[in-house]
């Protein structure tokens, strides 16, 4: 066997070095204590239940809904500094939740009655319809949840009602239409 170049160390030297570097494994029962910013905890406490109700209305699978909300809040936690620095933190978090739901709802999962609204209306209008009519939130609560001003919710709801009315009213034959 060929000798390798370099200084030769005896096994006792290695043992001595290793004994100096040895670290006791942590006590597994103690666990880690993770500190989260208080404003993030408050954000989660304020929004998590309504996020979960909304997601359940869209996804219809309680376990998947919980997973999507947890993933959303985890993503918000990871990006908390930039979310908090934005003009509307609630809007940032709502966008994350909406993106996760959209990625999940492909194919047959998107065929629920609630999601039909999203095929007929623009995204914000559909969100407002679900929040106001399915979850029975007030305009103020819906606006706070999605991170917009209350008048935006009111106007989006009016536009959604007009669009839905046009789509559900059967077309009258030309002869029966009123002359204007």
Q: Which of 106-111's residues contact partners 24+ apart within 8 Å by CB, and which partners?
A: 109/59
Quick one: DSSP state of residue 147? Answer: T
**What are the pLDDT digits (tens) for 131-175?**
999 999 999 999 999 999 999 999 999 999 999 888 765 555 544
Q: CA-to-CA distance for 87 and 82, rounded, in angstroms?
A: 10
pTM of the shown model? 0.72
Q: Rounded distance, CA 149 to CA 155, Å?
A: 10
Question: What are the tens digits of pLDDT across the range 74-132?
Answer: 999 999 999 999 999 999 999 999 999 988 887 555 555 567 788 889 999 999 999 99
Per the model's pLDDT, the better-predicted residue between 158 and 61 turns out to be 158
Q: Which residues are CB-contacts of 53 (< 8 A; sequence separation ≥ 6)?
A: 135
**pLDDT at 179 > cutoff 50:** no
């Amino acid at each position: 066997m060929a000798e390798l170049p370099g200084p030769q160390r005896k096994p006792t030297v290695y043992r001595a070095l290793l004994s100096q570097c040895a670290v006791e494994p942590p006590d597994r029962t103690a666990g880690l204590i993770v500190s989260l910013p208080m404003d993030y905890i408050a954000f989660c406490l304020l929004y998590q239940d309504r996020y979960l109700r909304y997601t359940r209305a869209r996804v219809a699978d309680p376990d998947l809904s919980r997973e999507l909300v947890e993933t959303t809040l985890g993503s918000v936690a990871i990006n908390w500094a930039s979310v908090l620095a934005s003009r509307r933190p609630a809007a940032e978090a709502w966008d994350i939740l909406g993106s996760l739901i959209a990625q999940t709802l492909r194919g047959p999962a998107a065929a629920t009655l609630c999601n039909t609204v999203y095929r007929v209306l623009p995204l914000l209008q559909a969100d407002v319809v679900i929040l106001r009519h399915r979850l029975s939130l007030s305009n103020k609560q819906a606006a706070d949840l999605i991170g917009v001003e209350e008048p935006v919710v009111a106007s989006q709801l009016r536009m959604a009602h007009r669009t839905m009315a046009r789509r559900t009213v059967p077309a009258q034959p030309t002869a029966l239409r009123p002359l204007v």
